[in-house]
A and B are shown apart, each in its own frame.
Chain A
Amino acid sequence: MKRRNRLVFLGVLALGALAGLGAYTQQQKPLDPFEEAMRQRQMYLETFGVLPGDLFVEEGKELFFRKGPSGKTLEECDFGKGKGVLEGVYAILPKYFSDSKRVEDLETRVYTCMQTVQGYKPAEIKRDEVRAITTYIASFSSKAKIQVVPKHPAELAMYNLGRELWYTRAGARDMSCAICHDQYAGQRVRLSPVRSPKQGLGNEWPAYRFEEDRLYTMEDRINFCYESIAIPKPEFYSDVHIALTVYMLAEATKAGHSFEELPFFTR
C-alpha cells in the first residue's frame, strides 16, 4: 500500500479509536483494556480487512529489500541465525554479535547493519524506517517461544546491568521499573494493567497502540515508561534499552512465555 493511502487509512482508524475510547471512558464500569483492544482489533479487521500493524510490516519489507549506498540490501545482514535468516530471530534477541562486538537488540542490529552492510551514515537513518524494518523482521517470530538465555560473558554483563537499571529509583517521582512491575504486578495504573517479566512483560512489542495511533517497538515502549515516571527518555539503540530488554526477556524466558501475534494490537 502506498504511503499516502496508509496515512488516510490511519486517519480513519484514529477517528474510530477516539470514538471507541470516548465510549469506554464514559461508561460506569471501566472495561477491561485488553478486551477493549480485542474489540477494536475486530472492528478494524471487519471494516478494512487489514490491521494497522500489517501496514508497517509491508513498509518494512520494502525497506528491507531496498539497496543502500553499498548496493546491498538487508538480506546481507546476520540477524542472529546467519545471513538472510529471519524466521525466529526476534525470539533469540538481544544477543552478542562478534562483528560489532556488542550485545544488540533487533532495532540496534538493524541500525548497525544499515551502516556496516548498507553504507548509510548514522544521520541518514530515519527512526521510522528502523521501526518498520524491525516490525517486518519481528513478524517472523509471531507467537514464538521467547528464548533469551544469556550465555556469552557480554550477555551476562548486559543482564546484570539490566537488573541494576530495573531497581534504580530516580527522578522527581522516586520511581523504578521494579517498584510497579514486580511489587504491584496484576494491579492497575489508572486503567492500565501492569505486568511483571515473569508474567511475560515485553512479549507484545512491536505493537500498534490504538489509543496513540502509533506503532511502538520495545525501545519506544521503554521510552514511554521512562517519560511517564519523570525520567528523560534514553537515546535509541543505547545499552540502557538493550540491558533492560535482556533482563525482561530472560526473566520471561525462565517463566516459559511466548510472544503474542506480532505485530500485536493493543491499547
Chain B
Amino acid sequence: MTKKASILLVSVVILGLGLTQVSPFRARFEAALHAGGHEFAKVMLSQDKGQALCSQYRDKLPPDLIPTFLAEQKALIKYPANGKLMGDWKNGEKVFTDPKRGNCYACHAGVASEVAHGTMGPSLTNYGQRGTSEAVVRYTYEKIFNAWAFVPCSLMYRGGVHGLFTPEETADLVAFLLDPESPINRR
C-alpha cells in the first residue's frame, strides 16, 4: 500500500469513528434530561423523526428536506373506517373545545360568542364559507389530522397522529368547521 493510500485509509477510519460517537454535547444534554427525572426524560427522549428534525433545524427545515418530510407526514394520516370525512358537528364542538383533545381555542377564534380564544392561529369563525366541496373537506380533514403534512414544524400540532382525537372525531371537527348548521358559521 502506498503512503498516500494508508493516510487516506486511516483518515476514513478516524472520520467513521468520529461520526458514530454520541457527541459530547448530546451526551451532556441527555444527562440534563435525566436529571429532570424519569418521566420527563422519557418523553423528551422519545421524539419521533419529525420532532427531531424540527428541533435540529430550529423549526426551519432546509428546502431539500421538505418534500420527503411532507410525504412522510402525509403517510401518517389515517381515515375513518366508513370513509366519511365530515361527521357530526355537535360532537366536533366538544372535541374542539376540550383542553385534553382539540384544545383549539388555545390558538383560534371559533364560535363568535367565545371571547376567551387565543390569537396564534387564524380565526376559524365562518370557516364554512369555503363550501363543502370534496377538495375543501379533504384538505380540512388532513390539515387537522396532521398539520405537518402541509406546514413542516408548524405550531399547530399533529393531534390525529398523536391520538388526541380519533379519525372519526377528526371528521366531527371537520363538520364543526364546515357544516352550515354549525355555530361557527352562524350569527
Contact flag A160-B25 (CB < 8 Å), given A172-B164, A183-B59, A184-B155: yes
Contact with B along A24-47 (1 / 0, CB 8 A): 010111100000000000000000
Least CB distance from A4 to B in Å reads 34
Assembled-state Cα–Cα distance A191/B162 (Å): 26
Contact flag A231-B120 (CB < 8 Å), given A161-B29, A168-B55, A189-B106: no
Q: Is the CB of A189 within 8 A of B120?
A: yes
Assembled-state Cα–Cα distance A239/B34 (Å): 9
Contact flag A178-B59 (CB < 8 Å), given A170-B44, A187-B120: yes
Contact flag A167-B58 (CB < 8 Å), given A188-B119, A190-B117: yes
* Chain A residue at minimal CB-CB distance from B36: A234
Q: Does B84 contact A (CB under 8 A)?
A: no
Assembled-state Cα–Cα distance A30/B116 (Å): 7
Q: Does A84 contact B (CB under 8 A)?
A: no
Which of A161, A169, A175, A191 has most B Cβ within 10 Å? Answer: A169
Classify chain B: how many residues form its interface, as a range. Answer: 35 or more
Q: Does A211 contact B (CB under 8 A)?
A: no
Q: A137 contacts which chain B residues (CB < 8 A)?
A: none
Least CB distance from A204 to B in Å reads 20
Least CB distance from A223 to B in Å reads 10
Assembled-state Cα–Cα distance A154/B157 (Å): 35
Least CB distance from B51 to A in Å reads 4
Q: Does B80 contact A (CB under 8 A)?
A: no
Q: Is the CB of A169 within 8 A of B153?
A: yes
Q: Does A180 contact B (CB under 8 A)?
A: yes
Q: Does A100 contact B (CB under 8 A)?
A: no
Q: Is the CB of B157 within 8 A of A173?
A: yes
Q: Besides the contacts A30-B116, A161-B28, A235-B37, what 20 more A-B pairs have beta carbons closer than 8 Å?
A: A165-B29, A169-B59, A172-B157, A173-B157, A174-B51, A174-B54, A174-B157, A175-B157, A178-B59, A180-B120, A183-B59, A183-B155, A188-B120, A190-B105, A190-B106, A231-B43, A231-B44, A234-B37, A239-B32, A240-B36
Q: Is the CB of A188 within 8 A of B39?
A: no
Q: Is the CB of A190 within 8 A of B32?
A: no
Least CB distance from A14 to B in Å reads 21
- A-B contacts counted at CB < 8 A amount to 113
Least CB distance from B34 to A in Å reads 9
A-B contact pairs, 9 of them (CB 8 A): A161-B29, A172-B163, A174-B51, A183-B59, A184-B155, A189-B120, A190-B106, A232-B42, A239-B35
Contact with B along A154-186 (1 / 0, CB 8 A): 000100110011011111111110111001100
Assembled-state Cα–Cα distance A25/B113 (Å): 12
Assembled-state Cα–Cα distance A235/B106 (Å): 27
Contact flag A176-B35 (CB < 8 Å), given A161-B28, A170-B46: no
Assembled-state Cα–Cα distance A240/B39 (Å): 13
Q: Is the CB of B37 within 8 A of A238?
A: yes
Which of chain B's residues 77-120 have a Cβ closer than 8 Å to chain A? Answer: 105-107, 115-120
Q: Does A243 contact B (CB under 8 A)?
A: yes
Q: A232 contacts which chain B residues (CB < 8 A)?
A: 37, 39-40, 42-43
Which of the residues A174, A190, A243 comes within 8 Å of B162, measured between beta carbons?
A174
Contact with B along A183-223 (1 / 0, CB 8 A): 11001111100100000000000000000000000000000
